[in-house]
Structure 1
Amino acid sequence: MEKKIRPWINKKIIEYIGEPEPTLVDFICNKVEAGSAPQGILDDVQMVLDEEAEVFVVKMWRLLIYELEAKRAGLHK
């Protein structure tokens, strides 16, 4: 989470909002770590990210799935 996911979320939030927003990044990371459903995360970030919210959540979910599968396959040391 800390090596791949958090930096990616931080980068995307800066792209969408135009400035770092560590509180939002922490909030999203906590939701992911707690096992929240994608729709729940989407509902939570919708107000901040507007029309980019759905694209953000879909891309984040793809990254999460990739990282989990890569770890399971032994690609990460």
Structure 2
Amino acid sequence: MSARPTTEAERLRRCRQVFELAVRDRVSMAVARDRLARERWAEADARLSAKNNTALCGTAAPAFAETDEDGDARLQWWQR
């Protein structure tokens, strides 16, 4: 079930899309419906896996920077 209710206009628009795809590619309605569903899922996956997509967490993760807090100078101080 979808997150929001489907209007009659949206349902008819989808039916027309399937019909036009079936006629254009000369395939059955079931095949056209499957192709259209695969295209929609691919578009949704592409949106969700976009590299610059930060909508899921609100902020981008900071870049990892390796630090050497226990460098040679501190180590020598502890070893004296």
Higher relative contact order (CA 8 A, sep 6+): 1
Greater radius of gyration (CA): 2
TM-score (norm: length of structure 1): 0.32
TM-score (norm: length of structure 2): 0.31
Considering fraction of residues, name the structure with more helix: 1
